[in-house]
Chain A
Amino acid sequence: MSYTPQEMMLVAAAREIAGHGVVFMGMSHPILAGSLAKRLHDPDIVFCTEGGVIDWEIPEDNPRAPIQVTDPVMYRGAAFCGDMTESLGAGLMGRSLYDLACLPVGQIDRFGNGNTVVVGDYNSPLQRIGGIGGNMDAACCAPAVFWLVPHEKRRFLSRVDFITSPGYIDGPGGRERAGLGPQGPNLIITTLGILRLDTPDGGKTGSCEAYLDAVYPGVTVEEARSQTGWDLRVSGDLRVLEPPTQEELAMLHRLDPLGAYLRAEPA
Chain B
Amino acid sequence: MSAKEAVAEFVHDGDIIYLGFGASFCSFALAYELIRQGKKDLDLVGGTPQPQLQQLLFASGLATRTRSGAITGIRGPKPGRIWDLAEQGAFQFEDYSNLTCTLMLMAGALGMPFIPTQSFLGTDFLKQENLHHKHGFLGDGKLRVVEDPYSGKPVVALPALKPGVALWHTQRADEYGNVQSWGMYADARWGLWAAERVVVSVEEIVPTEVVRSDPNRTIIPGPRVSAVVHQPFGGFPGEMPGYYMQDGAMLRLSPDAVPQYLAEWVYGCADHDEFLQRYVEKYGFLWFRGFLPKHKQQPIGSVDYGYRGVHGS
Residues of A that sit less than 8 Å from B by CB? 50-53, 67-70, 72, 74-76, 81-85, 88-89, 92-93, 117, 122-124, 126-137, 140-141, 162-166, 169, 174-175, 178-181
Residues on B with beta carbons closer than 8 Å to the beta carbon of A131: 48, 69-72, 75
Q: How large is the interface on B (under 10, 10 to 19, 20 to 34, 35 or more residues)?
A: 35 or more
Which residue from chain A places its CB closest to the CB of B186 in the assembled complex? A51
Residues on A with beta carbons closer than 8 Å to the beta carbon of B144: none
Write the nearest CB–CB distance from B122 to chain A, whole angstroms: 3
A76-B297, A133-B70, A137-B97 known; A85-B106 Cβ under 8 A: yes
Contact A51 B21 (CB under 8 A): yes
CA distance A76 to B297 in the complex (A): 8
Q: Which of B47, B121, B124, B183 contacts A81 (CB 8 A)?
A: B183
Residues on A with beta carbons closer than 8 Å to the beta carbon of B295: 76
A132-B96, A140-B118 known; A68-B23 Cβ under 8 A: yes
CA distance A124 to B182 in the complex (A): 42
Residues on A with beta carbons closer than 8 Å to the beta carbon of B24: 51, 70, 72
CA distance A204 to B121 in the complex (A): 16
Residues on B with beta carbons closer than 8 Å to the beta carbon of A124: 134
A53-B184, A137-B99 known; A132-B153 Cβ under 8 A: no
CA distance A84 to B98 in the complex (A): 8
Contact A134 B99 (CB under 8 A): yes
Residues on B with beta carbons closer than 8 Å to the beta carbon of A174: 122
A69-B22, A83-B186 known; A129-B123 Cβ under 8 A: no
CA distance A141 to B119 in the complex (A): 7
Contact B98 A134 (CB under 8 A): yes
Residues on B with beta carbons closer than 8 Å to the beta carbon of A53: 184
Is B43 part of the binding interface, using a Cβ–Cβ cutoff of 8 Å? no
Residues on B with beta carbons closer than 8 Å to the beta carbon of A181: 118
Residues of B that sit less than 8 Å from A by CB? 21-24, 47-48, 69-72, 74-77, 79, 83, 95-100, 102-103, 106, 117-125, 129-130, 133-135, 145, 153-155, 182-190, 239, 241, 245, 248, 293, 295, 297
Which residue from chain B places its CB closest to the CB of A135 in the assembled complex? B97
Which residue from chain A places its CB closest to the CB of B51 in the assembled complex? A131
List 19 A–B pairs whose Cβ atoms lie within 8 Å, in order of A's numbering.
Answer: A51-B24, A53-B184, A70-B23, A72-B24, A72-B239, A75-B297, A81-B183, A82-B184, A88-B98, A93-B99, A117-B95, A123-B135, A128-B74, A128-B76, A133-B70, A140-B118, A169-B122, A175-B122, A179-B153
Write the nearest CB–CB distance from B206 to chain A, whole angstroms: 20
Residues on A with beta carbons closer than 8 Å to the beta carbon of B75: 128-131
Write the nearest CB–CB distance from A71 to chain B, whole angstroms: 8
Contact B76 A85 (CB under 8 A): no
Write the nearest CB–CB distance from B7 to chain A, whole angstroms: 24
A122-B130, A131-B75, A164-B123 known; A89-B184 Cβ under 8 A: no
CA distance A89 to B248 in the complex (A): 29
Residues on A with beta carbons closer than 8 Å to the beta carbon of B119: 93, 136-137, 140-141
